[in-house]
Amino acid sequence: MGLELYLDLLSQPCRAVYIFARTNNIPFEFKRVDLRKGQHRTEEFQKVNMLMTVPALKEDSFTLAESIAILLYLARKFKTPDHWYPAELQKRARVDEYLSWQHTTIRMKAGTMLIHKMLLPVITGKPVPAEKMQSLTEELNVVLNQFEQKFLQDKPFIAGTEVSLADLLALEEIMQSLIVGHDPFEGRPKLAAWRKRVEGAVGQQLCQEAREVMLNPSNPSADQITPEMVELLKKKYLK
């Protein structure tokens, strides 16, 4: 049995793993896990990842969770070009710095916006108030400013002159808000130019392929969201 990657391309870290593997010609079997149908919570999937999250990796009896761990494993196992995770200490530190920062900033803010815009109205039967969406947009703008000023500065890429894992993960996180009609690149020429460089490095066609589901999502209905997921969302966002 070869390498299996369990993914839902609506998920930003799943897209990053998918694009990385395809860009580097890493052979794998695509195992789709539909998050909206709760397939990540099934007994079968829990045998692969008891944390019930995607992406997940399985290779024979070896399993691995968490996108960063999976990307680093693939980079090392398949000896991908050095620029993805540089051997030079300070460049690698720049990649690690972003990977450590992203979880509670860009990932959280973009993900929260999507949940409020797409999922909560299905659960409550009411649209999210405009002032709430405005507040979420402002919070996202704060971390985008930090990303530009701290991590990009005047460099082509986060670690310097070549694309890295940090750039790939960052771009897919930032792209996520397009699902709800918010363009994070509008009025941000530096960010827009960086996006073009990252997409150019991995291939425009591959990026479009990975984002097809994201950019053309079907509107979720109440019967597509499992009761368990409804309860989780209510506890977290409807207090």
Task: Give the span between the Cα atoms of 127 and 143, in whole angstroms.
Answer: 25
Q: 88 and 72 in one domain?
A: no
Asked if residue 194 and residue 96 are part of one domain, the reply reads yes
**Both 180 and 69 in a single domain?**
no
- 228 within a domain of the structure (yes/no): no
Question: Could you tell me the CA-to-CA distances from 239 to 19, 41, 124, 232 in Å, in that order?
Answer: 37, 24, 13, 11
155 and 112 both lie in a single domain: yes
Residue 39 phi/psi, 5° resolution?
-65, -20
Residues 94, 198 within the same domain: yes
Closest by CA position to 169, among listed 6, 2, 10, 19: 19
- pTM here? 0.91
Query: Given a cut of 80, is residue 193 above it in pLDDT?
Result: yes
- Specify the CATH number for the domain of residue 132: 1.20.1050.10
Kindly state whether residue 220 falls inside one of the protein's structural domains.
no
Closest CA to 121 of 230, 198, 239: 230
Query: What CATH number should be reported for the domain holding residue 22?
Result: 3.40.30.10
Residues 15 and 130 both lie in one domain? no
Query: Would residue 205 count as lying in a domain?
Result: yes
Q: Each residue of 145-165: pLDDT tens digit? A: 999 999 999 999 999 999 999
d(CA 168, CA 173): 9
Domain assignment of residue 237, yes or no: no
Same domain, 64 and 99: no
Say which residue, 110 or 239, is predicted with more confidence: 110
Give yes or no: residues 170 and 191 share one domain.
yes
**pLDDT given for residue 127 in this prediction:** 81
Query: Last residue of a domain, which of 82, 101, 135?
Result: 82
The predicted pLDDT at position 121 comes to 75
Indicate whether 39 and 73 sit together in one domain: yes
Question: Last residue of some domain: 82, 107, 134?
Answer: 82
pLDDT at 38: 84
Report pLDDT for 115: 80
Domain boundary among 40, 65, 82: 82
pLDDT at 110: 87
Verify cis geometry, omega within 30 degrees of 0, for the bond prior to 81. no
Question: Is residue 173, in this structure, part of any structural domain at all?
Answer: yes
The pLDDT value given to residue 51: 96
pLDDT above 70 covers what percent of the chain?
92
Give, as one character, the DSSP assignment of residue 11.
S
Phi, psi values for residue 106, rounded to 5°: -60, -45
Number of domains in the chain: 2
For residue 220, the tally of other CB atoms under 10 A from its CB is 15
203 and 102, same structural domain?
Answer: yes
The reply to whether 190 and 95 lie within a common domain is yes
pLDDT of residue 42: 93
Tell me if 116 is assigned to some domain: yes
pLDDT at 221: 61
Q: Which amino acid is at 186?
A: E
Q: How far apart (Å, rounded) are the C-alpha atoms in residues 134 and 136? A: 5
Range of the domain at 35: 3-82
Q: Give yes or no: residues 88 and 168 share one domain.
A: yes
